């Protein structure tokens, strides 16, 4: 039994570095990693993400269209023979009434604002994706630490079991059970390592650094106590009503601006149904006439009524569709907000439980199971079951922290923060 005295000691987090150092011979050296903070990751993503560059170009496009909103029809340059004896040049220009150009400028301005609102949506989406990717990397790193500790403990336990079995102090069932637990811990560590590589890749791609091997600057486990303390205060400030919670939502703002754009399109179609003015300057006299060139003036009458009626119907339908889209966005965002709020409350309560009860119990289970096993009061299999129970609590604690922070990220995204 003395072989196990050094394996499972109280205060295991303090001994984790020692165990990791002893395991250095089992794992190959990794490439040098770059430590990055969340603020730095957000800044790099906002600076390099192609979605935001696309939004900038769309804004530039709409601003260019606005500069060309005063767009009269091209002039008609004519050559005519009014007397039948000679050809004379002339020019005719059709000009809409000022109201048409004013409406065109309003539509163009609404398009610029919509492009800017869409950029806000893109920015919020990039921030959400970056925060979730950073959180995923933190969770993967914490899992690797947890499974590394478990793997090192079960490896040492398996070696001790082999010696005890050779000495006849444990039976074959205990030996097989220990070996199975050790192999399972190794497989879990391998899976966690692969998840870590995938999480590093996701974050690096978002930051425009696909070849970088990144690591976070803070341990996910250390944020647990702070989150548990701030949870109740945060939930007290969150509004329960969707209408007040989503007033700063960039998605809702973009949908609202789309309605304004479609309504300005209706006004433009109506303005184009008015007559236009036609001005001309052309030779209409004989060659020896004292006044050869004369002005022309006319009115362009929109007599093809079915064309304008169809355009008005299309613009009206587009406006109604935009209104329904806004209602749909409000419904979906409201549902998402209520779900995120419920998740926040749920995981906040779970986190409080693990901080106040779960984690202290897991540490107590580890300590007491060792003490009782060394005293001969519990069996070998009971020791393994107790360790598995304690590790399950610690792993669930990490998952709870991740889920709680994911809910907070979703709330921030929905509220435009």
What is the three-state SS of the chain?
CHHHCCCCCCCHHHHHHHHHHHHHHCCCCCCCCEEECHHHHHHHHHHHCHHHHHHHHHHHHHHHHHHCCCCCCCCEEEEECCCCCCCEEEEEEEECCHHHHHHHHHHHHHHHHHHHHHHHHHHHHHHHHHHHHHHHHHHHHHHHHHHHHHHHHHHHHHHHHHHHHHCCCCCHHHHHHHHHHHHHHHHHHHHHHHHHHHHHHHHHHHCCCCCCCEEECCCHHHHHHHHHHHHHHHHHHCCCCHHHHCCCCHHHHHHHHHHHHHHHHHHHHHHCCCCEEEEEEEECCCCCCCCCEEEEEEEECCCCHHHHHHHHHHHHHHHHHHHHHHHHHHHHHHHHHHHHHHHHHHHHHHHHHHHHHHHHHHHHHHHHHHHHHHCCCCCHHHHHHHHHHHHHHHHHHHHHHHHHHHHHHHHHHHHCC
Query: Residue 329: what are its φ and ψ, rounded to 5°?
Result: -60, -40
0.75 exceeded by pTM: yes
Per-residue pLDDT of the chain (417 residues; tens, 9 = 90+): 444 443 444 444 444 434 434 444 444 444 578 888 899 999 999 999 999 999 999 999 999 988 888 888 888 887 776 666 667 778 888 888 888 888 889 899 999 999 999 999 999 999 999 999 999 999 999 999 999 988 888 888 888 788 878 887 777 887 888 888 889 889 999 999 999 999 999 999 999 888 888 888 888 887 776 666 665 566 666 766 666 778 888 999 999 999 999 999 888 888 888 888 888 877 666 566 665 666 777 777 777 777 778 888 898 999 999 999 999 999 999 899 889 888 988 888 888 889 889 989 998 998 888 788 777 787 777 888 888 899 999 999 999 999 999 998 998 898 887
What is the structure's pLDDT at 300?
A: 77
pLDDT of residue 303: 76
- pLDDT number for residue 19: 40
Task: Quote the strand ranges of 156-238, DSSP E.
Answer: 214-216
Q: How far apart are CA 198 and CA 232, in angstroms?
A: 34
What pLDDT shows up at residue 293? 64
Whole-number pLDDT of residue 11: 42
Helices 98-166 and 12-22 pack at an angle, to 10 degrees, of 80
134 contacts: CB under 8 Å, gap ≥ 6: 38, 41, 203, 216
Distance CA 287, CA 72 (A): 33
């Amino acid at each position: 039994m003395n072989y196990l005295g050094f394996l499972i000691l109280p205060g295991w987090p303090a001994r984790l570095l020692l165990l990791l150092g002893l395991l250095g011979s089992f794992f190959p050296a990794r490439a040098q990693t770059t430590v990055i903070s969340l603020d730095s990751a957000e800044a790099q993503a906002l600076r390099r993400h192609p979605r935001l560059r696309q939004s900038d170009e769309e804004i530039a496009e709409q601003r260019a269209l606005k500069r060309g909103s005063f767009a009269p029809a091209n002039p008609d340059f004519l050559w005519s023979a009014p007397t039948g004896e000679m050809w004379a040049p002339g020019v005719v220009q059709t000009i809409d009434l000022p109201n048409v150009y004013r409406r065109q400028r309003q539509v163009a301005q609404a398009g610029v604002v919509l492009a800017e609102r869409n950029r806000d949506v893109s920015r919020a989406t990039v921030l959400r994706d970056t925060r979730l990717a950073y959180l995923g990397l933190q969770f993967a790193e914490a899992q690797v630490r947890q499974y590394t500790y478990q793997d090192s403990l079960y490896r040492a336990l398996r070696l001790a079991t082999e010696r005890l079995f050779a000495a006849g102090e444990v039976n074959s069932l205990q030996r097989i059970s220990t070996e199975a637990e050790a192999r399972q811990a190794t497989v879990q560590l391998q899976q966690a390592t692969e998840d870590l590589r995938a999480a590093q890749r996701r974050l690096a791609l978002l930051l425009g650094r696909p070849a970088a091997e990144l690591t976070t600057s803070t341990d996910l486990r250390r944020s647990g106590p702070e989150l548990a303390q701030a949870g109740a205060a945060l939930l007290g400030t969150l509004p329960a009503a969707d209408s007040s919670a989503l007033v700063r939502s960039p998605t809702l703002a973009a949908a609202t601006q789309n309605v304004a754009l479609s309504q300005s399109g209706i006004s433009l179609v109506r303005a184009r149904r008015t007559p236009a003015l036609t001005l001309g300057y052309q030779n209409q006299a004989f060659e020896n006439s004292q006044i050869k060139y004369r002005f022309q003036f006319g009115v362009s009458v929109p007599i093809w009524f079915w064309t304008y009626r169809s355009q008005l119907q299309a613009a009206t339908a587009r406006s109604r569709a935009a209104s329904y889209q806004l209602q749909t966005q409000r419904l979906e965002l409201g549902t998402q907000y209520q779900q995120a709020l419920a998740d926040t409350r749920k995981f906040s309560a779970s986190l409080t439980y693990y901080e106040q009860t779960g984690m202290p119990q897991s540490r107590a289970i580890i300590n007491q199971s060792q003490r009782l096993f060394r005293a001969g009061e519990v069996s070998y299999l009971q020791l393994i079951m107790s360790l598995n129970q304690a590790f399950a609590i610690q792993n669930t604690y990490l998952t709870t922290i991740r889920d709680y922070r994911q809910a907070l990220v979703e709330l921030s995204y929905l509220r435009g923060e």
